[in-house]
Amino acid sequence: MSKKFHIVFGRQGAGKSTYSKKLTKDIEGVHFSIDQWMWKLYGKDMPKSMNLKWIMERVDRCEQQIWETAKNISDCGVEVVLDLGFTKFEKRELFTSLAKEQNIPTQIHYIKAPHDLRKNRVLKRNNEKGETYSFEVTSGMFDFMEGEFQIPREKELKKAIIIDTGETENNENK
């Protein structure tokens, strides 16, 4: 029997990768990160100036391969954490629908945090190049992606696990 797909999404710097890695460890699952796939497969080939069409063609290829691999892993009885950004409603709906067609249960995880905190995290990650760093996200890229993110619909959040990492961080600093 197939195991659960955990679909993790939120804006840049919200803490998706940190949350996904912890979740993966907690459930003894397998983690898929679109940033890791894109950087490993295409990082050296990236155009000097940002070319959204070029990037999105490769993101789509990675997502297709990730889906096939994740499905096979799920079929082996292991839960999967999909940390693919999922900035658009249509992508979140696509992966949820694909899983449903294969009788794979899903759990949505919405990770959020205030804008200034997220931007500071991204800029700090650029400097520190720590565990969740895959590539530099410039202020311009951050601002562009802010406009690309589609806020989740009420229907999406009905059964979602919602994590506000801004609240978590504030509580840890008290």
Average pLDDT of the chain, as a whole number: 85
For residue 82, what pLDDT is reported? 97
Percent helix, percent strand, percent coil in the chain, to nearest 5: 55, 15, 30
Q: What is the mean pLDDT of residues 144-164?
A: 90
Please tell me the distance from the alpha carbon of residue 159 to that of residue 70, in angstroms, as a whole number. Answer: 22
For residue 169, what pLDDT is reported? 55
Task: Give yes or no for residue 159 having a pLDDT over 80.
Answer: yes
Mean pLDDT is highest, among 50-54, 56-60, 131-135, 155-159, for 155-159
Q: Show the tokens assigned to 97.
A: 């629908």
Task: Give yes or no for residue 4 having a pLDDT over 60.
Answer: yes
Q: Are 59 and 34 in contact (CB under 8 A)?
A: yes
Q: Show the tokens assigned to 132.
A: 């969740």
pLDDT single digits (tens) 42-53: 777 877 776 778
Which pLDDT band holds residue 63 (cuts at 50, 70, 90)? very high
Indicate which CATH number applies to the domain containing 67.
Answer: 3.40.50.300
What residue numbers bound the domain in which 142 lies? 5-172
Task: Give yes or no for residue 60 having a pLDDT over 70.
Answer: yes
DSSP assigned state of 56: H
Please tell me the distance from the alpha carbon of residue 101 to that of residue 111, in angstroms, as a whole number. Answer: 26
Task: Give yes or no for residue 172 having a pLDDT over 50.
Answer: no
Q: Show the tokens assigned to 114.
A: 């205030």
Task: Give yes or no for residue 23 having a pLDDT over 50.
Answer: yes
pLDDT single digits (tens) 73-102: 999 999 999 999 899 999 999 999 999 999
Task: Give yes or no for residue 12 having a pLDDT over 60.
Answer: yes
Domain count, the chain: 1
Q: What is the mean pLDDT of residues 27-31?
A: 97
